């Protein structure tokens, strides 16, 4: 188990906290969704209450190693000030003399937000010199950015080898929730895999297949599995190079005691922009040559809702349809609502599904909504995350 805030004394010390404030922005530069910022508030507030001098470091967008005014973190400091009800100072640099002066000027309980880490190419290159410059700002390091823990960057991995490194509260919650799925889930364990492409989910499916009792396959990638079953899917998104892998998964599941569920009916239309009036439900065998599968059908959604109501644990990654269009959000809504009504431990991860659940007002119904996208997938694949591995281990008391 990784060491956390319970294992350090931050009083009067400068604490560099890696957060993931990579939030979606509006065209005018405002924040469209501050969920990732709010997720880190417990760590920030606890450190403040324990008289730490808090230095926050994050990336925002993809500036590709150079300053981009539209991706400055300055507006994030203003927003965080409002959330905390206390001023958060901002520094125009994240390393160097200006940043060191700003960090050195902090008093106990004060918070400083640094400029975008990825304005420097050395960040993503995990440059040792850049990591040393970050470490020079603080006495301790806390990683509360699970969403970036699968990246070996200077601020997520490099600095953790220089300063005493601990997990923040969000990081602890993420690791506990996801580890519980792999190590000691309440059964039956049901996995729901959606999203557009099978190729991005193969590792997760392979790792979960021997562990789950039921695997529900929806979203765009269901079409590739249907093709593997000999079903014609019209103009639906199919990955021809992965049809054989889909067939192999379907063939292997019975020997593992895993029931795999593909849609038996679907919602189809000419394209993702089609209206509800232009869409129709049909059996998978009845998809027209010019139609696309855009959602799981109502009969399948009802059946899957019944399965998750009886589950002990549900893990879900990827929406079941093109949720951005209300005409194709029905299955995601129905299954999510059923999970919310059940007694199952429910864990979901991935930006698209999180956005879908937020838009449907159902995110709060889940036991844990992971802030990670790629990090969540890699953890569920059984892979080590560099940003986690670099943290200190908790020392067991005698």
Answer positive or negative: Cα dihedral of 143, 148, 151, 155. negative
Calpha distance 344→338 (Å, rounded): 10
Strands 345-349 and 368-369: parallel
**What is the gyration radius of the CA atoms in the chain, in angstroms?**
23
Q: Is 350 annotated as catalytic?
A: no
Let me know if 351 is a catalytic residue.
yes
The token pair that represents 315 in the structure block? 């893990």
Q: Is the dihedral of CA 134, 139, 140, 144 positive or negative?
A: negative
For the chain, what is the largest distance between any 2 Cα atoms, rounded to a whole number of angstroms?
69
Catalytic residue among 36, 169, 173, 211: 36
The yes-or-no answer on residue 36 being catalytic is: yes
As a whole number of angstroms, the distance between CA 28 and CA 158 comes to 34
Kindly report the CA angle at 103 between 101 and 109, in degrees rounded to 5? 140
Cis before 316? omega within 30: no
Which one is catalytic: 197, 280, 303, 392? 197
Q: Which of 180, 252, 374, 392 is catalytic?
A: 374
CA distance 137 to 121: 19
**Active-site residue, selected from the candidate residues 351, 372, 373, 387:** 351
Unique residue bearing structure tokens 């410059």? 133
Tokens of 367: 């036991």
In sequence order, what are the residues at sequence separation of 6 or more whose Cβ sits closer than 8 angstroms to the Cβ of residue 223? 233, 236, 237, 238, 293
| Contacts of residue 381, Cβ cutoff 8 Å, sequence gap at least 6 | 203, 204, 206, 207
331 contacts: CB under 8 Å, gap ≥ 6: 218, 267, 295, 296, 297, 298, 300, 301, 304, 320, 321
Q: How far apart are CA 341 and CA 343, in angstroms?
A: 7
| CA–CA distance, 379 with 188 (Å, rounded to integer) | 21
Beta bridge partners of 215: 191, 260
- Looking at the annotation, which residues are catalytic? 36, 197, 351, 374
């Amino acid at each position: 188990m990784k060491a956390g805030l319970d294992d350090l004394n931050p009083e009067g010390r400068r604490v560099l906290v890696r957060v993931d404030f990579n939030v979606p922005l509006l065209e005018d530069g405002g924040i469209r969704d501050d969920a990732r910022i709010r997720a880190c508030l417990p760590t920030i507030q606890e450190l403040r209450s324990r008289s730490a001098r808090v230095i926050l470091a994050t990336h925002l967008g993809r500036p590709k190693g150079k300053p981009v005014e539209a991706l400055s973190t300055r507006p994030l400091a203003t927003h965080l000030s409002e959330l905390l009800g206390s001023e958060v100072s901002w520094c125009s640099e994240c390393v160097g003399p200006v940043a060191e002066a700003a960090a050195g000027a902090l008093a106990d309980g004060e918070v400083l937000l640094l400029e975008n880490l990825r304005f420097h190419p050395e960040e993503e290159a995990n440059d040792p010199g850049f990591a040393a410059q970050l470490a020079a700002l603080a006495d301790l390091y806390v990683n509360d950015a699970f969403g970036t823990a699968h990246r070996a960057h200077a601020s997520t991995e490099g600095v953790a080898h220089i300063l005493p490194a601990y997990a923040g509260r969000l990081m602890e919650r993420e690791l506990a929730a996801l580890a519980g799925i792999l190590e000691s889930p309440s059964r039956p364990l049901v996995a729901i895999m959606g999203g557009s492409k099978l190729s991005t989910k193969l590792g997760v499916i392979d790792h979960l297949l021997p562990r789950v009792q039921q695997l529900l396959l929806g979203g765009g990638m269901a079409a590739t599995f249907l093709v593997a079953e000999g079903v014609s899917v019209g103009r639906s998104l199919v990955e021809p190079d992965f049809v054989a892998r889909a067939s192999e998964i379907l063939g292997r599941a019975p020997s593992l005691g895993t029931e795999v569920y593909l849609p038996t009916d679907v919602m189809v239309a000419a394209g993702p922009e089609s209206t509800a009036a232009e869409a129709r439900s049909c059996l998978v065998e009845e998809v027209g040559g010019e139609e696309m599968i855009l959602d799981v059908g109502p009969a399948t959604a009802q059946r899957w809702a019944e399965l998750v109501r009886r589950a002990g644990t549900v893990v879900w990654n990827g929406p079941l349809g093109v949720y951005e269009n209300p005409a194709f959000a029905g299955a995601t809504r129905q299954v999510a609502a059923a999970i919310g009504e059940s007694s199952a431990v429910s864990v979901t991860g991935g930006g698209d599904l999180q956005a879908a659940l937020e838009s449907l007002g159902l995110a709060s119904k889940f036991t844990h909504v992971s802030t990670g996208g790629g990090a969540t997938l890699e953890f569920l694949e059984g892979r080590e995350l560099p940003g986690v591995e670099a943290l200190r281990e908790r020392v067991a008391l005698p």
